[in-house]
Amino acid sequence: MTERLYYADAYLNTFQARVRERLEVSGHPAVILNRTAFYPEGGGQPADRGTLNRLAVVDVQARATDDEVLHLLAAPLVEDEVTGVVDHLRRFDLMQQHTGQHILSQAFMHTAGAETVSFHLNPDPNEGALTIDLNQSALSPQQIDRAEEFANTIVYENRPVSARFVSDEELQALPLRKPPKVDKTIRIVEIQGFDWSACGGTHVARTGEVGLIKIVNLEKRGAETRVEFRCGRRALNDYRRKHQLINQVASDLTIGFWELDQAIGRMQAEAKAVRKQLTEAEARLQQYEARELLSSIEPHGDFGLITQTWLQRDAASLKRMASLLVAQPRTVALLGATGQSLALVFARSKDVSLDLAALLKTAAARLGGKGGGSPDFAQAGGPAVSEEQLSETIRWAREQLH
C-alpha cells in the first residue's frame, strides 16, 4: 500500500519515491508509487497537482478496489526512481479552505445548532465556489453574522490544528461534530478545544493560517441553506474585486461609495417613472398604428382582414396590437414578428366564426415554432426566422382563409 506522506506533513512539497506499478487510467498513463505526498480527490477536497520527474500530474485518484493512489500523467513515466513536486500554492489554498470549512461548520453548530450535511470545494482559487449545505432553512441574518464572527474569532486565536489516527476506544470518547463515514482506520482532525472531525484531508497547522473567513452568499434549497464563503487569499481576492467594482461605479457616478445606496434608490425611482412614461407612449403609438392598419383593412368575404409583420417586436406588443384591431367588429388579424425570436398572433372579433387556433398551430409548425390558444385568439413562439420566411407563412395563412 502506498505510504501517504501528507498524513504526517501536509506542508511536504518535494519527495522521493519508487514506481511500483504502471497502468492506464481514463486514457492517461498512470503510476502507483511506494510513497507519495500527492493528495487524491476525496472527502470534498480536490486532488493535488504537480510533477513526477517534471512530467505533469493531471489528476490523483484513490483506486476504488484497494485505495491505492493513482497518479495520472500527461505522458508516460519511464524511470523507476522519481522526484515528486506538489504544487504548493494549490495545496496551501486547499488547506486554507478545508480547515476554514471545519471552523465555519462548527461555528454554525455552536451559534445556530445547524449541522453541515454536505461540503463542496471548487479547486479554482479565483472563481471557485466553496459551499456548505446546512440542515436548516430559516437562518436569520443575525445567526449568519454570529456564526461568521465566531468562526473568525477561532482564526484570531490561532489555535493548533492536529491530525491523528485513533482507536475505537479513543473514538468513543471524542465529541465528534458528526459520525465518521468509515468504520476503520479513522483519522481525526482536531482544532484544539473546538472541533473534532473524521477527515483524511490536508489542513493548516494553526487556525491563524486560514486567514479571514467571509460568507458571501446564501441560497435556500428546500429544507436546507447553502452557504457560500471564502477563506484566506480567496476572501482577499473576492474583497479586492468587489472593492474595485464599487469604487469604479462610485467614480462613474461622481459620488462617494458611501452614497451608492441613495444614488441607486434615486436611479431606480427615475427608471420606474421613465418606464411608466414609455409604456404610456407606446400604448398611444400603438393606438395610432392600429387606426392606420384599420383604415386600410382588406375586405375578405364577410369580414375585414389585416396581415402585418414587423422586425424586433415581442409577443406582448403583438398581443396588444391584436386586441386593438379585433375590438373592431368583423375583423381578423394575422400578425407576426421576428428578430431575436419568432412571435405569431392570430385573432378575430367575436362576431367572426373562424378557428384561428388550428390555423396558427400549422403556421407555427411551418416556421419551427409552436403555440395554441382559443379559436378567437391564439399565439405562438419559436426561434427567429428570416423576414421572407415570416412573410411567406403569413401569406400562406391568409390563403387558407379562402
Q: At 333, is the pLDDT very low, low, confident or very high (cuts 50, 70, 90)?
A: very high
> How many other C-beta atoms can be found within 10 angstroms of the C-beta atom of residue 91?
22
Hey, how many other C-beta atoms are within 10 angstroms of the C-beta on 150? 19
3-class DSSP assignment, residue 250? helix
Q: Do residues 387 and 395 touch, judged by C-beta distance below 8 A?
A: no
- pLDDT (average), residues 21-27: 93
pLDDT bin (cut points 50, 70, 90) of residue 352 is very high
Tell whether the model's pLDDT for residue 181 goes beyond 80: no
Q: What is the pLDDT of residue 20?
A: 96
DSSP letters of 354-391?
--HHHHHHHHHHHTT-EEEEETTEEEEEEE---HHHHH
Residue 307 has a pLDDT of: 95
Domain 297-400, architecture per CATH: Roll (3.10)
Comparing 9-18, 40-49, 174-183, 259-268, the range with the smallest average pLDDT is: 174-183
**Which residue from 349, 347, 383, 354 is spatially nearest to 366, judged by alpha carbons?**
383
Q: Looking at residues 174-186, what average pLDDT do you find?
A: 83
**What confidence score (pLDDT) does residue 125 get?**
85
Question: Which stretch of 8-12, 159-163, 185-189 has the lowest confidence by average pLDDT?
Answer: 185-189
φ/ψ of 360, rounded to 5, equals: -65, -45
Residue 218, phi then psi, degrees to nearest 5: -130, 145
Helix, strand, coil % over all residues of the chain, rounded to 5: 40, 35, 30
DSSP 8-state symbol, 157: T
Mean local confidence (pLDDT), 237-251: 92
Q: What is the mean pLDDT of residues 320-334?
A: 95
Question: What confidence tier does 234 reach under pLDDT thresholds 50, 70, 90?
Answer: very high
Q: Is the pLDDT of residue 184 over 80?
A: no
The reported pLDDT for the residue numbered 265 is 93
Q: Average pLDDT of 294-312?
A: 93
Transcribe 87-149 into DSSP letters. -HHHHHHHHHHHHHHHHHHHHHHHHH-PPEEEEEE-S-TTT--EEEEES-S---HHHHHHHHH
Where is 215: in which H helix or E strand? Answer: strand 213-221
Measure the CA–CA gap between 14 and 195, rounded to whole angstroms. Answer: 30
Give the distance between the most distant pair of CA atoms in the chain: 95
Residue 269 pLDDT level (bands cut at 50, 70, 90): very high
Sheet holding 116-121, edge to edge: 116-121, 130-134, 224-231, 213-221
**3-86 topology per CATH:** Elongation Factor Tu (Ef-tu); domain 3 (2.40.30)
At 95-148, the pLDDT tens digits run 999 999 999 999 999 999 999 999 999 998 887 789 999 999 989 999 999 999
Rounded CA separation 43/182 (Å): 11
Q: Which residue type is seen at 345?
A: V
The label of the residue with cell 461568521 reads: 148
Q: What percent of the chain has pLDDT over 70?
A: 100
Position 43 confidence tier, pLDDT thresholds 50, 70, 90: confident
Mean pLDDT of the chain: 94
Question: What number is the average pLDDT over the span 275-300?
Answer: 92
pLDDT tens-digit series, residues 44-86: 899 999 999 999 999 999 998 999 999 999 999 999 999 999 9
Domain 91-249 indexed as CATH 3.30.980.10: yes
DSSP run (H or E) holding 225? strand 224-231
Global pTM?
0.74
Give the C-alpha separation, 194 to 364, whole Å.
65
Q: Domain segments of the chain: what residues?
A: 3-86, 91-249, 254-295, 297-400
Rounded CA separation 224/103 (Å): 19
How much is the pLDDT for 168? 86
Mean pLDDT of 287-308: 93
Q: How far apart (Å, rounded) are the C-alpha atoms in residues 229 and 206?
A: 20
Percent of the chain with pLDDT over 90: 88
